[in-house]
Amino acid sequence: MDDTVSEGSDVLLFLSRERTYLVRVRAGERFHTHKGFIDFDQVLGKRFGDVILSSMGVAFALFKPTPYDYVRKALRATQIIYPKDVALIVAYSGIGPGSRVVEAGTGSGALTSALASFVQPNGRVYSYEVRKEFCEQAAKNLARAGVDEYVVLRNADISQGISEPAVDAVVLDLATPWLVVKEAHGALKGGGHLVSFSPTIEQVVKTVGAMSVGFADVETVECLVRRMKIKAGSTRPEGVMRGHTGYISYGRKIFR
Amino acid sequence: MDDTVSEGSDVLLFLSRERTYLVRVRAGERFHTHKGFIDFDQVLGKRFGDVILSSMGVAFALFKPTPYDYVRKALRATQIIYPKDVALIVAYSGIGPGSRVVEAGTGSGALTSALASFVQPNGRVYSYEVRKEFCEQAAKNLARAGVDEYVVLRNADISQGISEPAVDAVVLDLATPWLVVKEAHGALKGGGHLVSFSPTIEQVVKTVGAMSVGFADVETVECLVRRMKIKAGSTRPEGVMRGHTGYISYGRKIFR
Amino acid sequence: MDDTVSEGSDVLLFLSRERTYLVRVRAGERFHTHKGFIDFDQVLGKRFGDVILSSMGVAFALFKPTPYDYVRKALRATQIIYPKDVALIVAYSGIGPGSRVVEAGTGSGALTSALASFVQPNGRVYSYEVRKEFCEQAAKNLARAGVDEYVVLRNADISQGISEPAVDAVVLDLATPWLVVKEAHGALKGGGHLVSFSPTIEQVVKTVGAMSVGFADVETVECLVRRMKIKAGSTRPEGVMRGHTGYISYGRKIFR
Amino acid sequence: MDDTVSEGSDVLLFLSRERTYLVRVRAGERFHTHKGFIDFDQVLGKRFGDVILSSMGVAFALFKPTPYDYVRKALRATQIIYPKDVALIVAYSGIGPGSRVVEAGTGSGALTSALASFVQPNGRVYSYEVRKEFCEQAAKNLARAGVDEYVVLRNADISQGISEPAVDAVVLDLATPWLVVKEAHGALKGGGHLVSFSPTIEQVVKTVGAMSVGFADVETVECLVRRMKIKAGSTRPEGVMRGHTGYISYGRKIFR
């Protein structure tokens, strides 16, 4: 059953915010942590939300992974995108169940799996990746996250052409997004959203410049998320925060 | 057809980021703006993404409204939640197609419609609102946004009880969220997410305090979004930004 | 006496943070506000810190202006620099009593008066301004702020040369600071600080590029100040904040 | 001479922003770093701003320490205050040459030395510290920074009374600042500034509450400083930033 851990279930073992482990449960196996091992035979049949003890008596909660857990845990083969940025990209792109989305580059498939989880079951993500080895790794990650049936992986250079017509959104996480703006315009349906994520300001200036033709409502934002330490009597923001991940630029296609 | 404006279509008339109008197109009618009127007979049959001219010759783009456009345009009967916060709430709550979500309070239905757009077609949002007049207004707004079939409105005080068992997420935008934490725990399935949005730090301290029993991975964040002025040679952040909307607190249910 | 309002005293009339008036008190005169007029004969002889009533019975506090009050109240002939940025410029430049500082451009003299207040009584600010009318206006503002004896105004283009040798710091608030970096290096003593304030990122990139020769410890920061609404039970950051004023770049001269 | 390194000079050895060493130069001695040692005999007679080579051939710049360098390098016996916060405290408190300032607690003397450097030569900082061992350590640090003649250290509990009348400013960096607000009001001259630095929001709420009597222009801010990575073609904010140090609250004394 869906709310119970069974053979082959993915489980997020939660010790603390900084210490979580995404594991696949197999009868007869163990998972070792610095706080002792977890005996999977004891995990089978437990409910998600249950708390179990490791061999050292340390408590771990059993959580069902969300798409964001997969994002956080995806192989670090490429610099992955942050959940906050995924959230804003989804918000700005108007993506939802049934959306047809083109994405590039696939990388490890972290953003891809998040997009796929929002467009399922009838939508599709067409994800372009020029490097063959990333394509293969992403295919594995998407299968593991259980969203591979909603994704079409294309081992191709997106700047050479987009095969899908009239898509709802194009999402770019590329080193040279400005080279793809014209292709994206051709692939989008009228009013469709182009969203681009870039770490540097020079990338943004070039991309937004390229969007000055054929797009309206063009906007660039950055998003800062600050964690709070909440404790009656000593509440304060956390001392260290992420100062930058990237800028998000977007616009909506107009016909001209 | 879906990509063409027809009788009864909702259209977002886009003049600039600050000047957009969400209208329902009716043959024979006009919509008046300070830049001249729009003749709906000229709009009918146009594609979304087309640009038309007002009676004063000013260009307006025709966009298909996204859930966020509805959020932005919802009646300002209550202080509505910002798109950036909706985005993070959706991200943190693990909501997606098929999710069963409890929400309170409904208010004007802005957050409700956004949640509904993500859980459709098989999921449901059960939205509690104690004030009858808000319930009625929200019902209209949800119908207008085309998501009413995915929402069950409950004109009831959520602190008196939640009728739905084993939901995936509970989302609170209430003045006294800490009074609902125990009820939320009862309604959630194991590992399910509680997300609470509150403007003041005192609300957060009380709510997070109440979550110290029965929840793990409890965290509070605030999100700052800063717009950039992108123009080659004079790029800079915008001079004025929103300094605060509210804090987002969340946690995952554990059995104890 | 210094703590009492006398003929000719400058007084900051304080109604609220948003409503303050910097006036010079003269016997027999009145100052009119939208909350009634202030009778200066009643103000004479009062202590700084006293609260008086306007003709409409509204309370105004009598404050002695600080350099920052003069900064805030300087004629808005040019876009003036914010107190937070003045504070960081002073901090980063190592300016203090006795420092010899070169500044450009003078503008309305707002930053000049703040710098002068920190270097007095033995230090000097040499302030360059190419536009004659600004020089004249700044001279008046500096006299009004009582710091003119610590400032030498130069109606000259700083990019054509700096007359003062071996200064402690050079502070630039110019449209094209990169054109002055070489001159600044020549004028600074070893280890002296160059500080440049610029609104746009392109100005920063050019200026920091020019500083790659002859400067060490080169750094660029931006400073965001957020006001809090402090009230037991409803504490939160203010809803609107300044999102950007400018970037502050600095470095210390090395001999090469 | 002041611009040349001589026997007993303090020198900031600068390798990179993260690697600086505040040393006192003594003939015949060496200073060891992970990049080789510095031979002080080669440093004597050099100009501040000169670049020398370590025994491993690595370049170090010789800088004259600013008050902020002393702040940064003060013994970490207590959590020291950040330069950005020192800058704003000085700005908000209207402190300058000649100011008479009361401060508590002294701690390691980091803030004390910065305040002293701004009020010299005629002003004074009266610094209260209840813990004897901190007093003694601070006395050494202030002497080292060369500002001890401008400071009067008081080994006393400031909440039991302030000896100095009619001071220009009171600066608090205490765990319980609200207990000192009444004493501070008594010590300040009319219009004088009270500035309090506190890490937690609960401290701020209590302190600002206590300031509701006897103070006007009461305001609380926090200051976020973000470093930029400036490099043509890849300019961006730094990935990690300080998310919080403390809140700064201030107000001006009124007579009531």
Residues A75 and A170 in one domain: yes
Residue type, C204: V
Cβ within 8 Å, pair A243-D238: yes
How close C109 comes to chain B (CA, Å)? 22
Q: Which residues of C touch B220 (CB under 8 A)?
A: none
pLDDT at C83 (0 to 100): 82
216-245 of D, contacting C, C-beta below 8 A: 216-217, 219-228, 230-232, 235
What mean pLDDT do residues C23-28 have? 95
Interface predicted TM-score of the whole assembly (ipTM), two decimals:
0.92
- Partners of D91 on chain C (C-beta within 8 Å) are 68, 83-84, 86-87, 90
Nearest CA in chain B to C225: B243
Q: What is the pLDDT of residues B207-245, one digit of tens each?
A: 999 999 999 999 999 999 999 999 999 999 999 999 999
Chain D interface includes A200 (CB < 8 A) = yes
Cα end-to-end distance, chain D, whole Å: 53
Same-domain pairing of C34 and C82? no
Of A88, A193, A228, Cβ closest to residue B220: A228
Give the range among D41-50, D70-79, D128-137 with minimum mean pLDDT: D70-79
Give phi and psi for C77, each to the nearest 5.
Answer: -60, -35
Residue C2, in any domain of the structure: no
Residues of C numbered 20-49 whose beta carbons fall under 8 angstroms of chain D's beta carbons: which are they?
A: 47-49
Calpha distance A155→C233 (Å, rounded): 56
Judgement on whether residues A82 and A190 belong to the same structural domain of the protein: yes
| DSSP string for residues in chain C | -TTB--TT-EEEEEEETTEEEEEE--TT-EEEEBTEEEEHHHHTTPBTT-EEE-TTS-EEEEEPPPHHHHHHHS-TTS-PPPHHHHHHHHHHHT--TT-EEEEE--TTSHHHHHHHHHHTTT-EEEEE-S-HHHHHHHHHHHHHTT-GGGEEEE-S-GGG-----SEEEEEE--S-GGGGHHHHHHHEEEEEEEEEEESSHHHHHHHHHHTTTTEEEEEEEEEEEEEEE--TT--EE-SEEE--S-EEEEEEE---
**B39: which strand partners?**
B30
- Between B110 and D253, whose confidence is greater? D253
Q: Are D87 and D66 in contact (CB under 8 A)?
A: no
Answer whether residue C8 shows pLDDT above 80: yes
Q: Tell me the DSSP string of D25-54.
A: --TT-EEEEBTEEEEHHHHTTPBTT-EEE-
Q: Are residues D55 and D97 in the same domain?
A: no
pLDDT in tens, B101-116: 999 999 989 899 989 9
| pLDDT tens-digit series, residues C172-183 | 999 999 999 999
Q: Is residue B1 part of a domain?
A: no
Q: What is the pLDDT of residue A74?
A: 62
Average pLDDT, chain C: 92
C52 with C137, same domain: the answer is no
Q: Hey, are the CB atoms on C200 and B244 less than 8 Å from each other?
A: no
| Interchain pair D238, A226: CB under 8 A | no
Helices (runs of H) and strands (runs of E) counted in chain B? 7, 15
Residue A159 within any structural domain of the chain = yes
Shortest distance between the Cα of A244 and any Cα of chain D, in A, equals: 5
Q: Is residue A113 part of a domain?
A: yes
Domain CATH code at residue B216 = 3.40.50.150
Verify that B78 and B50 share a domain, yes or no. Answer: no
Q: Do the chains contact at A241 and D236, CB–CB below 8 Å?
A: no
- Asked whether residue D44 falls in the same domain as residue D75, the answer is no
Residue B241 is nearest to which of C201, C234, C241, comparing CB atoms? C241
Burial class, D34, CB count within 10 angstroms (exposed 0-12 / middle 13-18 / buried 19+): exposed
Q: Do C244 and B236 touch (CB under 8 A)?
A: yes
pLDDT cut 70: percent of chain C above it = 95
Q: Does D1 touch chain C (CB under 8 A)?
A: no
Q: Write down the pLDDT at residue A180.
A: 98
In the numeric block, which tokens belong to residue A239? 């001392």
pLDDT value at residue B39 = 96
Residues D80 and D111 in one domain: yes
> Which residues in chain D touch residue C253, judged by CB atoms under 8 angstroms apart?
49
Query: Higher-confidence residue: B45 or B92?
Result: B45
Give D-chain residues touching C68 at CB under 8 angstroms. 91-92, 94
**Quick one: closest CA in D to A237, which residue?**
D244
Q: Mean pLDDT over all residues of chain D?
A: 92
**Interchain CB distance below 8 Å, A245 and D226:** no
Nearest-by-Cβ selection for C220 from D47, D48, D230: D230
Statement: residue B97 has pLDDT above 80: yes
Asked whether the beta carbons of residue A200 and residue D227 sit closer than 8 angstroms, the reply is no
CATH number at residue C42: 3.10.330.20
Low-confidence ranges of chain A (pLDDT < 50): 1, 77-78
Residue of A nearest to B120 (CA): A97
Please indicate whether, in this complex, the C-beta atoms of A205 and B17 are within 8 angstroms of each other: no
Buried b (16+ CB within 10 A) or exposed e, A41-80: eebbebbbbbebebeeeeebbbbbbbbbbbbbbbbebbeb
Residue of C3, C191, C219 with shortest CB distance to D227: C219
Of D25, D45, D63, which residue constitutes the final position of a domain? D63
**A227/D243 Cβ within 8 A:** yes
Per the CB < 8 Å rule, is B208 touching A230? yes
- Asked if the Cβ–Cβ distance from D200 to A235 is below 8 Å, we say yes
Q: Is B110 on the interface with A (CB under 8 A)?
A: no
| A226, closest residue in chain D (CA to CA) | D243
Chain B residue at shortest CA distance from A89: B87
Confidence band, pLDDT 50/70/90 cuts, at residue D93 = confident
Give the pLDDT mean for D168-186: 97
Answer yes or no: do C18 and C47 share one domain.
yes
Task: Give the domain-ending residue among B45, B63, B81.
Answer: B63
Helix axes A132-144 and A110-119, enclosed angle (nearest 10): 50
For the record, the structure tokens of D92 come out as 């908000």
Average pLDDT over every residue of D176-201: 97
- The residue of chain B nearest to residue A61, with distances taken between CA atoms, is B254
CA-nearest residue of chain B to A255? B50
Domain that holds residue D19: 10-63
**Nearest-neighbour CA in chain C from B60: distance (Å):** 29
Question: Is residue A157 domain-shared with residue A133, that is, in the same domain?
Answer: yes
Chains with ≥3 CB–CB distances under 8 Å to A: B, D
**Of C235, C240, C242, which is closest to B200 when you measure between CB atoms?**
C235
CA D58-C95-C145 angle, to 5 degrees, is 160
Collect all residues of chain A within an 8 Å Cβ-Cβ radius of residue D241: 240-244
Q: Please, is D26 exposed, middle or buried when counting C-beta atoms within 10 Å of its C-beta (0-12, 13-18, 19+)?
A: middle
d(CA B52, CA B54): 7
Q: Which of B244, B172, B245, B246 is nearest to B210 (CA)?
A: B172
Q: How far apart are CA B66 and CA B72, in angstroms?
A: 10
For range C20-48, the mean pLDDT: 95
**In the prediction, which pLDDT does C79 show?**
57
C-chain residues near B237 (CB < 8 A): 222, 243-244
The alpha-carbon gap from D247 to the nearest alpha carbon of chain C, in Å, equals: 9
Predicted pLDDT at A81? 76
Instruction: Tell me, yes or no, whether C242 lies in a domain.
Output: yes
Whether the Cβ atoms of residue B142 and residue B107 lie closer than 8 Å to each other:
no
Instruction: Point out the least confidently predicted range of B59-73, B126-140, B158-172, D4-18.
Output: B59-73
- Alpha-carbon torsion B49, B88, A50, B213, what sign? negative
Query: Positive or negative CA dihedral for D96, D97, D103, D107?
Result: positive
Q: Using one digit for the tens of pLDDT, what is the confidence trace for C83-116?
A: 889 889 988 888 999 999 999 999 989 899 989 9
Q: How confident is the model over A54-99, as pLDDT tens digits? A: 999 999 999 998 766 776 676 554 456 788 898 899 888 889 999 9
Whether residues A153 and A202 fall in one domain: yes
**Could you tell me if B21 and B136 lie in one domain?**
no
In a domain, D1, yes or no: no
Q: Is A232 exposed, middle or buried (0-12, 13-18, 19+ CB in 10 A)?
A: exposed
Is residue B121 domain-resident?
A: yes
Distance (Å, whole) CA B64 – CA A190: 9
Res. B69: pLDDT tops 70: yes
Chains that touch D (3 or more CB pairs under 8 A): A, C
Query: What value does the mean pLDDT take over residues C185-191?
Result: 96
CB contact under 8 A, D49 and C253: yes
A124 has a chain B CB within 8 A of its CB: no
pLDDT tens string C60-85: 999 998 766 776 776 554 456 788 89
- Stretch 127-146 of chain B: residues touching chain A, C-beta under 8 Å: none
Is pLDDT above 80 for B45? yes
> D59-63 and D19-24: which strand pairing?
unpaired
Residue D2, pLDDT > 60, answer yes
| Cross-chain CB nearest to D190 (options C48, C121, C219) | C48
Total domains in chain B come to: 2
Q: How high does pLDDT run on average in chain B?
A: 92
| Residue C51 to residue D255, Cβ atoms within 8 A | yes
- Check pLDDT > 50 for residue B77: no
pLDDT, average across residues B40-63: 95
Q: Which residues pair with A93 in a beta bridge?
A: none
Query: Taking CB atoms and an 8 Å cutoff, what residues of chain C touch D63?
Result: 191, 216-217, 252
D236 chain-A contacts, CB cut-off 8 A? 199-201, 244
For the cut 50, the answer to whether the pLDDT of residue C254 exceeds it is yes
With 0.90 as the threshold, say if the pTM is over it.
yes
> Are the beta carbons of D243 and A244 separated by less than 8 Å?
no
Top residue of A63, A117, A203, A244 to mutate, by most chain B CBs within 10 Å, is A63
Structure tokens at C203: 């100005």
Domain assignment present for residue B4? The answer is no
Do C62 and C44 meet the contact criterion of CB atoms below 8 Å apart?
Answer: no
| Matching residue, tokens 């990935």 | D239
